[in-house]
Structure 1
Amino acid sequence: MNTRTLGPQGPRVSALGLGCMGMSFAYGPADEDEAIATLHRALDLGVTFLDTADMYGPYSNEQLLGRALQGRRDQVFLASKFGIVFDPEHPERRGVNGRPEYVRASVEGSLQRLGTDRIDLYYQHRVDPNVPIEETIGAMADLVAQGKVRYLGLSEASAATLERAHAVHPITALQSEYSLWTRDIESNGVQETCKRLGIGFVPYSPLGRGFLTGRITAAADLQSDDFRLQTPRFQGDNLSRNLALVETVQNLAAGKGCTPAQLALAWVLAQGEHIVPIPGTKRRKYLEDNVGALAVRLDAGDLAALDDAFAPGSVAGDRYSQAGMALIGG
């Protein structure tokens, strides 16, 4: 397994991580046996950068990792997140909480569920607009001093927030959505700020929530409880328009002798050595396919063709519902 460094002074991790959310949450029924087998297979393949969060489930994804990693905790670089809160009876009603007392309570819960004495990378999942980022990061920095957390991160934060947070305590990584069809960081200052401050970048959903693999051709391909059905890009005319984009990925992949998923991941990996994508899956066969992306090399012509196909304005629909979009870029 190739490795990459999260920031010039940060930790070395597997060049490809594993997003674990879908094993317990959001993408249809869970299969714990297959999920644990997938986690164990990831470790055997050298994919040791694992990503979870307290709100995945909620809580059940951290519990799953805690069970799966018994006896193997020291083999992984474990990331978790706090900060998104919602009413269990109305999960669509989400908010954020970055108050210091909430930070302290959240880490204790995560440590217990994960069955560990430290979290390697602890992210604020979304920025709380009602709490100065300096206060939140200050509380997170205390966790580092106490040995409960090793490195700090933010998720979906703006460039300005990154600057302010990094001035309080070094931010090791920013996690935000990034893929061929989600490229906000290239134009909103986030990409440049990460490079300038030496902050590693961790793209989640680098396969466009599975859409770029070509395996989703209609809404009927998704389970009725799959949250993607509630997002604009997977609805109506937007879905039909976006399917044309996938054809470019499929055609280029065929020419390279790889799968569409591998091509899409290879594009993300080619955007910089400070980038470590965390494609999510709950099945071993897709994990193994994703790992194959590390062997795919894209030349200037490939990159230009993909940039042309996914030019600004080519993707139809927002990546989240209106409520979800309100929580990003804080």
Structure 2
Amino acid sequence: MKTQTLGRTGREVGVVGLGCWQLGGDWGTVVEDDALATLRGAAEAGVTFFDTADVYGDGRSEQLLGRFLADGAPEGTVVATKMGRRADPHEPAAYTLEAFRAWNDRSRRNLGVDTLDLVQLHCPPTPVYSSDAVYDALDTLVEEQRIKAYGVSVETVAEGLTAVARAGVASVQIILNPLRLKPVTEFLPAAAAAGVGVVVRVPLASGLLSGRYDESTTFGADDHRTYNRDGSAFDIGETFAGVPFPVGVEAARRLKAVAGDVPLAAFSLRWIVEQAGVSVVIPGARNAEQARGNAAAADLPAPTAEQSAAVRAVYDELVAEHVHDRW
């Protein structure tokens, strides 16, 4: 698989990684054997970057990755986790060095490592991105060899632009896909100029860009695609990339025609990889077959100019009014 340098971490990672949110159980249960097979299948397909968080399944996702590491993950594997969403209440004052150390200790235990490869602030309240004290605390974690590098996960382009101005920020994780185009012109150039890596999450818009859903599709009660459609659990932009479900279904139909003979999910991942400034995209997978299929998208031909223009047209005509100004 083609690799890119992940910003200021200096680490080389495959351009398609694996997002491990679903292994925690927030998309319906994934049994342990299937989860471990998914991790191994991804690695065998060339995936070297695995993204998790301390709140995914209350630590279950990290623990499964810890098993994967202990069982002999390939050399060069990079595991990124996140912290901050355990704060209660979730407010800027909770982002202290003391809290960071406690959250860090828990993640290191879950993953079975002394030093974490990359820790990202997990979509904190907006003022946190501008706090000198927060970045000083993160620098302290590096000095204490608790973490090798740190980054942030953001909801909005504005938050991302604030973060890339900080010298210690190695990477920014942001939502980007054919239904969320604002970062292409308003964020990626700034990140590239700053030498900051870009991790792309929600690349398939919670499955909308699989092209398998229609207006009648339903999801389990324990699936965020059911319980977070109104944004009552967390930022609504994390579910279907913030696009109203019927609008997303229609947009996916049109994009499926744009993709032609290539499956829409694979086309979407390859389109993301082609965007200048993207370091790695992290689709999720619930089994090894899905993980291998996602990884294979990296080897597809790049979208043509006509296809890229058609992606923009679908966005402008159907989607932009719902997401562009909000995120």
Same fold (TM over 0.5): yes
Contact 1:85 1:95 in 2 (8 A): no
Distance 1:309 1:23, change over 3 A: same
Q: Distance in 2 between matches of 1:242 and 1:162?
A: 25
1:262 to 263, 266, 276: 266
Match of 2:84 in 1: 83
What do residues 170-207 of structure 1 show as CA deviations (whole Å, max 9, x unaligned)? 211100111111234246x4333212211111110101
CA contact (8 A) 2:165 2:194 kept: no
Provide the residue aligned with 2:205 in structure 1. Answer: 208
Q: Is the CA contact 2:8–2:171 (under 8 Å) kept in the aligned structure 1?
A: no
Q: Which residue pairs with 1:322 in the alignment?
A: none
- Which amino acid is 1:76 matched to? T
1:127 aligns with 2:124: yes
Tell me how far apart the structure 2 counterparts of residues 203 and 296 of structure 1 sit (CA, whole Å): 18
Partner deviation per Cα, 1:65-94 (whole Å, 9 max, x = no partner)? 11122142544101000011267xxxxx86
2 CA distance for matches of 1:30 and 1:17?
19
Per-residue CA deviation, residues 261-302 of structure 1 (Å, 9 max, x unaligned), is 101111111111533110111211211221221122211111
State the Cα distance separating 1:169 from its structure 2 match.
4.0
Q: Indicate yes or no: 2:245 matched with 1:239.
A: yes
Structure 2 residue identity aligned to 1:314: V
Query: 1:302 corresponds to which letter in structure 2?
Result: Q
How many Å separate the matches in 2 of 1:103 and 1:177?
24
1:302 aligns to 2:303 (yes or no): no
Q: 1:281 aligns to what SS in structure 2?
A: coil
Gapped runs of 5+ residues in structure 2? 231-238
1:70 is aligned to 70
SS of the equivalent of 1:182 reads coil
Q: 1:147-296 to 2 correspondence within 5 Å? A: 147-156=145-154, 169-186=167-184, 189-218=186-215, 220-229=217-226, 230-232=228-230, 238-253=244-259, 255=260, 257-296=261-300
Superposed displacement of residue 7, structure 1: 2.4
Aligned-partner residue type, residue 150 of structure 2: L
On the 8 A contact 2:181/2:315 being kept in 1, the answer is no
CA distance in 2, matches of 1:137, 1:264: 34
Residues matched between the structures, number: 311
How far does residue 136 in structure 1 lie from its aligned partner after superposition?
A: 1.4
1:137 partner letter:
Y
Matched position secondary structure for 2:106:
helix
Structure 1 pair 157–22 and aligned structure 2 pair: CA distance change class (3 A): closer
Letter of the 1:156 partner, please give it.
Answer: V
Partners of 2:163 and 2:172 within 8 A in 1:
no
Letter in 1 for 2:282: I
Deviation at 1:157, TM superposition (A): 6.1
1:166, 1:291 → 2: CA distance?
A: 28
- CA-CA distance at 1:242 after TM superposition: 2.2
Structure 1, residues 36-73: CA drift from partner, whole Å, max 9, x if none?
00101111111010000001111111111111221425
Q: Helix, strand or coil for the counterpart of 1:57?
A: helix
Partner of 2:142: 144
Task: Name the CA distance, whole Å, in 2 between partners of 1:55 and 1:281.
Answer: 18
Equivalent residues of 2:164, 2:190 under 8 A apart: no
Higher relative contact order (CA 8 A, sep 6+): 2
**Closer/same/farther in 2, CA of residues 251 and 312 from structure 1, 3 Å limit:** closer
- State the partner residue of 2:236: none
2:109 alignment counterpart = 112
Q: Gaps (5+ residues) in structure 1? A: 88-92, 320-324
Q: Which residue of 1 aligns with 2:34?
A: 34
CA distance in 1, matches of 2:177, 2:278: 15
RMSD: 2.7
| TM-score, normalised with respect to structure 2 | 0.85
Change (3 A) 1:219 1:61: farther
TM-score calculated relative to the size of structure 1: 0.84
Q: Contact 2:6/2:279 (CA < 8 Å) preserved in 1? A: yes
Q: What is the rounded CA distance, in whole Å, between the counterparts of 1:190 and 1:52 in structure 2?
A: 23
Q: Secondary structure at the match of 1:150?
A: coil
Greater percentage in helix? 2
**AA of the residue aligned to 2:262:** C
Deviation at 1:107, TM superposition (A): 0.8
